[in-house]
Structure formats: C-alpha cells, structure tokens
Amino acid sequence: MRRHRNVKIVATLGPSSNDYDTIRALFEAGADVFRMNMSHGTHDEQRARHAMVRQVEKDLDRPIAILADLQGPKLRCGVFAAGAADIEEGQDFRFDLDDTPGEGHRVCLPHPEIFAALEVGSTLLVNDGKLRLKVRECGADFADCIVEVGGTISDRKGVNVPDVVLPLAALSDKDRADLEFACQLGVDWLALSFVQRPEDVEEARELAHGRAAVLSKIEKPAAVNAFDAILEASDGIMVARGDLGVELPVHAVPPIQKRLVHSCRRAGKPVIVATQMLESMIESPMPTRAEVSDVANAIYDGADAVMLSAESAAGQYPVEAVATMNAVAIEVENDETYREQLEASRVASRSGVNDAIVAAAREIAETTDIKAICCFTQSGTTALLTARERPRVPIIALTPLRGTARRLCLSWGTNCFVTASVVERFKAAVVSAARAARSSGFAEETDQIVVTAGVPFNVPGTTNILRVAPCDESLIYAT
C-alpha cells in the first residue's frame, strides 16, 4: 500500500461511499483522509461511516485520518407567499425581520446580527452569489437595497455578506453538538466553517480539548484579511474556494490560493485545497482538462492535500475520481518542474535546534545516497517540520501514539507507522526505523537512511539528534 506520491488525497464520504467495500476501494485507489460532512446525515449515519473507516484501517494495518467538517452557521432568507419571486436590476428590495411571507419587493431575513453589522454600501449576495443587492439604507430590523443583479429568489436561499465582519460565532448550537459527538467518536481533525477571526479557532480548540486537531476553513474575505492570526491559532488550513468564489471576485481566488498555500508551507502546517476539483466526475467517468489542470496547479504549489467533495460523496464514480486524482498527482510529482518549483519556493527557517536538524536531514538526504528520512515523533511536530522542507526522499514518521500517526496522514509526504512500544534508547529507534523502511519498500538492507529523534525520548519538541544509519541491523548493532 505504499503511495508513490507525496500530496495527500481527502475523500468525502456520503451516499455513494456508504459501505465497507467502497470505502476500502477508495483507500486502495489513493484516499489518505476521509471527510465526514456534518452538514448532511444523522449522527448514527456518521457513526457507521466512522466504524467502517476504522475497520479498513485495522484490516489493512495502515493509519487513516478522519476529518469531521462542521457546518457552521447558515444564513438564509425566509419564505415567499408564492414560493419564489423575480427581482429585476435597478428595483428596490427590502430585507427585514417580519416573518410574513415575502413577495416581489421584500422578504424576511431572520438574522438580526446581519442588520447590526450592515452599513450603507454593503453588499448582500443571494443563492451562491447569483443575485447581488447593494444596501442604500439600513437599521436594526431592515435593509433597503438596490438590486444590482436580478433573478429568481426563492424560499430559504442562502445569503452571504462578503464585506462586513458579522458578529456571529463560528460555532452554532448544532456545531457544538456535532463537535462533541465527533470528538467522542474519535475523529482526528475538526474542520471549522465560517471562520472570521482567530477567536473562532480558539473557541473550537477549547471545546475539543486536545481530542482532535483544529483546521480552519478559509471561505470569507474577513478570514483572508486576518489569515496570519488565524493560521497561528490553527493546526491546519482548508482553502475552501467555493465560498471564497461567491464572496470575492472569482479572478481573485487563484492568487489567494497560492498565497495561503505558501504561508502554510512556511509555517509547517498542513493545507488542503478544496472544492470543485473534479466536479464533472460527479456524473462523468472522465474529468475535464481544466479540472485536471486545477488539481495539478494545487500540487505544483506544494499543497499538503487536495480534496474531493461531492465527487466521492454523491457522485456516480467515487473510486474513479480518487484514482484520477492519484494519477494526476503521480504525473505532476514526476515532473522535474514540480521539484524546481518546490525548491524555489522553500523558505528557510532556522529559529531553533529542531529546524536545524530537519534542514540538515534534508540536505544530507539530497547530497548522498539516502533512501528515506525517518523521524521519531510524539506530538507530530518533527514530522511536520520535516514535511515543511519538502525533501526529495520519502518521510517515514514513527510514533507510539496512533492518534499522532492518524493526524499526520494529512501532512505532505509522511508515511506513518505506529511503533509497537515506547522507544527508550536511540539504537533501538534506529533499528525500528530501518525495519519500517525495509518493510514498506522504501529501502533495502544495503541502503542507508537518515534518522532524527529527540533525547530524552517521548518528550515533545526535543528533536536534537541525527544519524545516517544502515538498514542492515547487524551493522547497526555493531556500532
């Protein structure tokens, strides 16, 4: 089950991938992380999917990460007397708190927090941005608008407010219940929707209480503006381009994606590029050339992972979608241009011993005949720092903690192994690393590997030793 690529693949589970055989086929086709979308399905359905992933993990003896994606607050308009209304460019239209069914000139918007934040000139987007209105007058319970882009507005369509920071928590009551359920279930990552400020992340982290890593979805202009602070507060990032493309001009999304990916790489934190990557494969067994280029572009940028949403959750060809993404990744990573771009965009960080050790490991591996970099890690930090270097050789992460191994499944280039017991001596660590490199097919007995670890063992953040070691155990014991 060795992967012949470094970028990871996230596959969303849903009606099309709701049985053991399909989930196993998705993993064998290349999925490294399974996403449970908490916007859809009951807790019982999610519990069953979680159990099937864990059974695949057990049967194949490979750590698998599970990501629970929280829905976030949903802003929707009310209902219409006729079920819908047509509004035209240039006409007046009012949003208010009156729950009387709407008509052609008004509708309820049952979110007083929106009215509290609106200003004259603010933009309101309806139905994924298909309708655009500009606020000309507003108060605590109304907003009078001019329609800039008209169309049909129907019952309970989503409303976006792109140019103000809304006084809304990223976690609704449903999200809090889902978060606790997911943590008790034992997921590895929590994806937090509607992030606008670092305080949103801190709230989720406090509720998770270390039971899962917290990943922030960047899908609002406010999150882009506060990105550095959000990144510092987060364990990982998802560039959710669908909502970004609604709230920002679509041509602004590609440079934002590149900038966010680069920032995450510099920080050594995993970043997922998501949304509409192989959208046509929901109904077609073949993607479009533009979609393939989109996936390839994210990989060339050095993203840790690329994600499938409806393609694997509700599409007709879930396994084929994963296999296609896997094939694109292998092709891109075999291109010398890919390696040139990674190395040209590498940012040197030499702020401590940890940084120096992982940088030295990469340089040694790339200037001598080294087959893999093996790092012992308790919290996962050493493996993340090694992945930040984007080395040319595979990264083997060894840890006694299954939770750490699972979380690292999202990190670029890491091949995760759970050690049978806590390692106390460095020589034993070298032996374990050599065995893992050989058993996984990364090295032969006549090859050499680089081993990094921290002494004393099992103390997070103490990476301070590096050795070039043979894969032949008799030679290890002889030294």
pLDDT score of 158: 92
Starting at the earlier edge strand, list the strands of the sheet with 414-418: 414-418, 395-399, 370-376, 448-454, 463-470
Q: Which of 289, 308, 335 is the last residue of a domain?
A: 335
On whether residue 130 sits in a domain, the answer given is: yes
Please tell me which residue in 94, 157, 205, 217 is annotated as part of the active site. Answer: 217
The DSSP string of 62-107 is ---EEEEE------B---BTTSEEEE-TT-EEEEES--SPBBTTEE
Pull the structure tokens for residue 119: 């200003």
- In this structure, the answer to whether residues 117 and 247 fall within a common structural domain is no
On whether residue 346 sits in a domain, the answer given is: no
On whether residue 468 sits in a domain, the answer given is: yes
Please tell me which residue in 3, 47, 74, 76 is annotated as part of the active site. Answer: 76
For the question of residue 275 being annotated catalytic, the response is: yes
Residue 148 host element (H or E) = strand 142-149
- In this structure, the answer to whether residues 324 and 200 fall within a common structural domain is yes
Please count the structural domains in the chain: 3
- In this structure, the answer to whether residues 229 and 112 fall within a common structural domain is no
Please tell me which residue in 5, 8, 35, 220 is annotated as part of the active site. Answer: 35
- In this structure, the answer to whether residues 362 and 324 fall within a common structural domain is no
pLDDT score of 477: 72
Half-sphere exposure of residue 278: CA atoms within 13 angstroms, side-chain side: 36
Q: Which of 335, 366, 399 is the last residue of a domain?
A: 335
On whether residue 343 sits in a domain, the answer given is: no
β partners of residue 240:
274
CA separation, residue 120 to residues 141, 145, 249 (Å): 14, 9, 20
β partners of residue 192:
216
- In this structure, the answer to whether residues 116 and 203 fall within a common structural domain is no
On whether residue 1 sits in a domain, the answer given is: no
| Share above pLDDT 90 across residues of the chain, in percent, rounded to a whole number | 85
Q: Which of 125, 160, 195 is the last residue of a domain?
A: 160
Q: What is the rounded distance in angstroms from the CA atom of residue 98 to the CA atom of residue 82?
A: 17
On whether residue 394 sits in a domain, the answer given is: yes
pLDDT score of 461: 67
CATH label of the domain that carries residue 96: 2.40.33.10
For the question of residue 76 being annotated catalytic, the response is: yes
Q: Which long-range contacts (CB under 8 A, 24 or more apart) does 401-407 make?
A: 402/63, 403/188, 404/377, 404/378, 404/379, 404/380, 405/63, 406/63, 406/64, 406/65, 406/66, 406/188, 407/65, 407/188, 407/189, 407/213, 407/380
The range of the structural domain enclosing residue 428 comes to: 353-478
- In this structure, the answer to whether residues 387 and 444 fall within a common structural domain is yes
For the question of residue 136 being annotated catalytic, the response is: no
Backbone torsions φ then ψ of 343, nearest 5 degrees: -75, -30
- In this structure, the answer to whether residues 268 and 241 fall within a common structural domain is yes
For the question of residue 289 being annotated catalytic, the response is: no
pLDDT score of 423: 63
142-149 and 131-139 beta bridge pairing = antiparallel
448-454 and 370-376 beta bridge pairing = parallel
- In this structure, the answer to whether residues 128 and 229 fall within a common structural domain is no
- In this structure, the answer to whether residues 442 and 361 fall within a common structural domain is yes
Please tell me which residue in 275, 404, 414, 452 is annotated as part of the active site. Answer: 275
CATH label of the domain that carries residue 358: 3.40.1380.20
CATH label of the domain that carries residue 320: 3.20.20.60
Collect the ranges in the chain with pLDDT lower than 70.
Answer: 1, 349-350, 421-424, 458, 461, 478-479
- In this structure, the answer to whether residues 251 and 298 fall within a common structural domain is yes
8-13 and 213-218 beta bridge pairing = unpaired
Q: What is the rounded distance in angstroms from the CA atom of residue 273 to the CA atom of residue 360?
A: 29
pLDDT score of 399: 92
On whether residue 79 sits in a domain, the answer given is: no
Structural Rg of the chain based on CA atoms: 24
On whether residue 207 sits in a domain, the answer given is: yes
Span 85-105, pLDDT tens digits: 999 999 999 999 999 999 999
- Please state the pTM of the whole predicted model: 0.93
- In this structure, the answer to whether residues 41 and 180 fall within a common structural domain is yes
- In this structure, the answer to whether residues 183 and 242 fall within a common structural domain is yes
